[in-house]
Structure 1
């Protein structure tokens, strides 16, 4: 694959990005297209490794290793190297319904499992994937392809995130009539409202939704199941129902001062900002502004980083992001061997922007928030923290120990809680009387997806818990296959 000595001859090159100070003035995508010559060179780095771990998605030590979509990565890398872009697109679309999304927001477990990454840097798989699909749209190759025949079977999908959209795409291609129900005013789930515009511009989501519509998928927005439409109505009008409602019940931080004003969940902050941006370019003021404020984000993950980037664009006075874990090392530790997902220190787009704007990386490590203190108007004005250290007792139990003398008080007017989700929100699963596990997830086996209710399936985060976009698409494709089998007594879906 690629050039036999390409991984030796050519270094990995980071994808091009817009100037840091310029992009902070708008909400446009921060990434830039790459030249065809650069992409060919990067494709040439895909070595003939014999056993490519990049496209064999498994879970190791609790994280994805390789691509859960089983993307034919060496094949389309080689085709890009040869300049055969249309063929590369055909290979890419065999396994991935939405590479324009994964090529932008997936953390790329494929690159962590790349054989070239053992002695050197991984092949730039994610960047090449993004450029293949972008070229496909630019060249006019991505045209509606509605099915030639319809089966007469009707399927309702609840939730329009990546799992729901993938299921809809697959089932529609099989000739079934698919209707997707979404409680928000726009289709896309977290693709639309959970990921900020500078990482995934919303016209890309709308472009894909329009393509699905042109192929025959029906979308119904502003519709809440159990309120606007009942389970009885869905079951009566459809031959099967698929629940892809996600896992968006926020994990809270129940400490002193939590009820003060100015403390918000990160996802609420991001959602309101994107909706206001799309509705009025922020002119309606229906969002939480960080302008002129000291901002603290609690939680060290990607959602927290997106909050940092959003606050910077609002014009915050300062911004810090708190994480309970120590700073990662630059290289893999001995307990994080290849091909596990690499737990190493990286400088995400938001942190580069913070350094450019405020002169420092906003992340604070091994830190625990103890309490919030408010002013006379009931609004948060201080956040109290202490440094913590991980300890392991004789039985192997891990616990965090506070270090005396490390207490600190931070001035703050806006706090964003980004410590993840505990599981699905109450409502839809209960309404359908679907059995749930101890984390309130739908009980449905992986690669089967059947719930205890006949004809009702569940997939994506509502079944597996908060996870990656590639796992959501994987499950959307899988539940489509099993729903097709249920309806037709056989299936030819992958």
Structure 2
């Protein structure tokens, strides 16, 4: 009788891939986790309890068939595991690296709830697809039949690329328009290499190009091409621009030199990784080397900024967040990684103003948590008389992102937006009030996760295919 490969959680402990030691990893932008070896991947996948109600799958936005591909991995059926994982997930190797598994699949694992330590789902997912690339199992898209219809996608981030992949597999002609010189959106220019090395994104871009997806890069809709031109060219249009407008800091001195936006800071750092010439880094404006750095915010973008500053050789790095650790929106795993690398967190602290121009300090007010707000989280309240000043040479604003005013930028007053400025679109399909125009990802949800953008892109592609198969012309006449 064959040896049972599963249900090992009682006898085998949770074991993540080896993590590089902080004093080494803080010197470069390489990913901090090593890859599983084959036997270790089998062992950890075999810890899955194969429960009857897989909460890991339920709490995954893509509803990935996690128990089945874990079992296949444990049994050595790795190619089958890869083929099953990519049925629901366009970019499993990316989600395996950057999804907040502690809040999604792993955080809801049944054996985690029973005290045995969660299955390392993300690390196994990464291992499966990295192996698939190495073995040549990942091939360019090759539609069984080409179709005459075309879809234009504005934005080469995860939502737009997921839709492009899905549509090309059905034979639809796809053109992606993006303002940047490389595709990938925030996966390329926002997320640092120590979480997602850029060759991982670039090989997906190459695969999409080889599969027939057309890219018009350095193309700013509204300037280089009008939205109406795109609508007239294609049978359907998907808006997948993401949200890039940074929330501003209030308070006196907020406009001082040395106070910068997180998106500018991270983009500069990632461009350097590509070998680009970046004058704002060379001038020192977006370079943390030798500086006392203060990052304001408590989300994953703030974690990206503090850990980037460490690697650039900052003298000190502190993160100010107005709530406590338990109430921060960012990944607890990322906070731990940052602390290991020397970042100091000042919880229950909010900026009141700034000293100097260029900036020399942040005036900080101490906070406490009061009654819950409309979302159920406790609202921070100022503790009077507890203000103090933190020295700073570089202040990075990581307070989140808001949508740009697309109806105005694109001269489309009929494009309906919500009270938050996001595009109003139907749940599931992404249909907007404009005929033949869809919207997906952060431009609909507000700043969210890559995995949700992938889900939206795939769902929207399915809705468009249903419409096209109904032989209903949906382009602007």
Give the TM-score taking structure 1 as reference length: 0.89
In the alignment, structure 2 segments of 5+ residues that lack a partner are 473-477
Output one character per residue of 1:275-301: Cα deviation in whole Å (capped at 9) or x when no partner.
133134879727610111100000011
Aligned residue number for residue 466 of structure 2:
485
1:67 and 2:60 are equivalent in the alignment: yes
Q: Distance in 2 between the 1:343 and 1:181 partners?
A: 31
Q: Deviations over 1:364-390 (max 9, x none)?
A: 10111111010xxx2000111121111
Tell me how far 1:425 sits from its aligned partner. Answer: 4.9
Measured after TM superposition, the shift of residue 2 of structure 1 is: 7.5
- Report the 3-state secondary structure (helix = DSSP H, G, I; strand = E; otherwise coil) of the residue aligned with 1:129: helix
| 1:61-460 → structure 2 map (5 Å cutoff) | 66-108=59-101, 109-120=104-115, 121-280=117-276, 285=282, 288-328=286-326, 347-354=335-342, 361-374=343-356, 378-392=357-371, 399-426=379-406, 430-432=410-412, 433-460=414-441
Counterparts in 2 of 1:158 and 1:394: CA distance versus 1, 3 Å: closer
Which residue of the partner structure matches residue 475 of structure 2?
Answer: none
Contact 2:430–2:439 at 8 Å: present in 1 too?
Answer: yes
The DSSP-based 3-state class of the residue aligned with 1:473 is helix
What is the CA-CA distance between 1:465 and the residue it aligns to? 1.0
Shift of 1:148: 2.5
**Aligned residue pairs, count:** 462
Query: 1:118 deviation in Å?
Result: 0.7
| Residues 1:23 and 2:25 aligned together | yes
Q: Secondary structure at the match of 1:389?
A: strand
How far did 1:101 drift?
0.9
Contact between 2:6 and 2:74, CA under 8 Å: does it hold in 1?
no
Shift of 1:39: 1.0
Aligned counterpart, 1:334: none
Preserved contact between residue 226 and residue 427 of structure 1 (Cα < 8 Å): no
Bigger drift between 296-305 and 274-283 goes to 274-283
Q: 1:98 to 1:429 in 2, by over 3 A?
A: farther
Compute the displacement of 1:405 (Å). 4.0
SS at match of 1:435: coil
In the alignment, is the contact (CA less than 8 A) between 2:179 and 2:217 conserved in 1? yes
Distance 1:387 1:240 in 2: 51
Q: Between 209-218 and 26-35, report the one with greater CA deviation.
A: 26-35
RMSD: 2.4
- Matched residue SS, 1:212: helix
Deviations 1:182-202 (A, max 9, x none): 001111100110101111111
Q: Secondary structure at the match of 1:383?
A: strand
| CA deviation after TM superposition for structure 1 residue 174, in Å | 0.5
User: Is 1:462 the counterpart of 2:460 in the alignment?
Assistant: no
Query: How many Å separate the matches in 1 of 2:277 and 2:229?
Result: 38
- Relative to structure 1, the CA distance from residue 134 to residue 206 in structure 2 (aligned partners, 3 Å threshold; closer, same or farther) is same
Structure 1 segments unaligned to the other structure (5+ residues): 57-65, 330-340, 355-360
CA shift, 1:103, in A, is 0.7
Query: Residues 155 and 457 of structure 1: is their aligned pair in 2 closer, same or farther, counting only changes over 3 Å?
Result: same
| Structure 1 runs, 4 residues or longer, greater than 6 Å off | 281-284, 341-346, 393-397
Say if 1:402 and 1:345 are closer, same or farther in 2 by CA, change over 3 A. Answer: farther
**Cα distance in 1, alignment partners of residues 470 and 437 from structure 2:** 16
| Paired residue secondary structure (1:255) | coil
TM-score (ref. length: structure 2): 0.92
Tell me the residue number matched to 2:38: 36
**Matched-pair contact (CA < 8 Å) for 1:372–1:384:** yes
Assess if the C-alpha contact under 8 Å between 1:158 and 1:164 holds in 2: yes
